[in-house]
Chains A and B, each alone.
Chain A
């Protein structure tokens, strides 16, 4: 099996390497990929959309449909993760820690519960105390990461950035919270229901902005029709439309990243895990 695989890989790679001799050189400005459509985008996109970041202009305006369905794919991936792994069955035994003394109690009866508060603390079977340094450093870092994520989303029209990147940064800040404290802290702060709503809301914002253009007299995702409801600054109306769409993408990506992480790390139980 190992040998057959190696031979297949060698043949495949050899054919591909043989094919590259016909390819354009590295960095050739006259290569087929850089001659037809891309020149048009580079020369006209700024005049047409007033967005200096051409990647955002192409992503959210010229290829708006593509991005919309990519967002839908991300949403479906989050949904698939949830449906595959989410486990609603209750655990039979619970563990509590008495905060002042550090004594650990096990409650075997499934119905009985101890009041969780300052005296008793809920804990998981494979609980490990988190490190003080890691906890504090992450607590200081997380707000700045989130501010940076919001900046990346909001400034995506003018500098490198956009909804996908900002959403991933925001999601990873929440994942950092789960890693540095524990998963329960994250689940308590950001409820599962809220995450599910945010997943759908992101896609809805995107599709909603697209659909809003239709009753206003434009085509689907034709942001210039939005001048009816945003009468000021009609010159930059496409930039506003793209910003709204990017915000939708950011919300959806952020929520999906966190949903995927929570479900995989805790095998769908939303209590233990990393």
Chain B
């Protein structure tokens, strides 16, 4: 039992992201309203962003901005050796930085599509849209 608990505590970031991702997936599968589905999609994306950022973390490390860079003298790199263990992994941050903005932009496109669907069918409920489609 204590082993399982240690396993969960040691990897709690994965548990959080999986719970969040499953909430999003559930909303995307089950919810009837298109806006609620979009909210689920956003939760899903946020879970993935959380996952990426959490795998970039290192204990006893700081943000990936070089300290004592001495910008100004022009030759800052020479005087201090940079240890990789002192800085957290910048790569997931780079990937997620762009992913956040792109997810906002794609969310905007999804909202635009939802607006068009509403203009055409006067509803955002999926079953009603399907009913209207079979009527035509």
Q: B119 on the interface (CB 8 Å rule)? A: yes
A78 B18 Cβ-Cβ under 8 A = no
Partner of A17, one of B15, B85, B106, B115: B15
Residues of chain B within 8 A (CB-CB) of A12 are: 22, 25
Do B22 and A74 have beta carbons less than 8 Å apart? no
B13 cross-chain contacts in A, Cβ below 8 A: 26
A158 touches B71 (CB 8 A): yes
Q: Is B98 an interface residue (CB 8 A)?
A: yes
Q: Do B65 and A54 touch across chains, with their CB atoms under 8 A apart?
A: yes
* Given contact pairs A26-B11, A43-B84, A34 touches B105 in the complex (Cβ within 8 A): no
CB contacts (< 8 Å) of A73 on chain B: these are: 102, 105-106
A66 interface contact, C-beta 8 A: yes
Verify if B39 is at the interface (C-beta below 8 Å from A).
no
Q: Report chain B residues within 8 Å CB of A160.
A: 63, 65
Docked-complex contact B98 and A17, CB < 8 angstroms: no
Chain B residues within 8 Å of chain A by Cβ, number: 59
A257 is an interface residue with CB less than 8 A from chain B: yes
Which residues from chain B contact A168 at a C-beta distance below 8 Å?
101, 104
B75 on interface, CB distance cutoff 8 Å? yes
| Pairwise interchain contact A37-B97, C-beta atoms closer than 8 A | no
**A196 beta carbon closer than 8 Å to chain B:** no
CB-CB nearest 3 A-B residue pairs: A77-B105, A260-B108, A39-B84
A50 interface residue, CB < 8 Å from B? yes
Given A23, A25, A85, A260, which contacts B105 in the complex, CB threshold below 8 Å? Answer: A260
Report A-chain residues with C-beta under 8 Å of the C-beta of B74. Answer: 233, 235-236
Interface residues of B (CB under 8 A from A): 7, 10-15, 18-19, 21-22, 25-26, 29-30, 54-59, 61, 63-66, 69, 71, 74-77, 82-85, 87, 89-94, 97-98, 100-102, 104-106, 108-109, 111-113, 115-116, 119
Residues in B neighbouring A55, C-beta threshold 8 A: 64-65, 90, 93-94, 97
Quote the shortest CB–CB distance from A120 to chain B (angstroms).
31
Across the interface, do A54 and B106 meet the contact criterion of CB distance under 8 Å? no
- Chain A residue at minimal CB-CB distance from B106: A77
User: Once the chains bind, are A13 and B7 in contact (CB under 8 Å)?
Assistant: no
A93 at the interface (CB under 8 A from B): no
B102 lies within 8 A of A74 (CB): yes
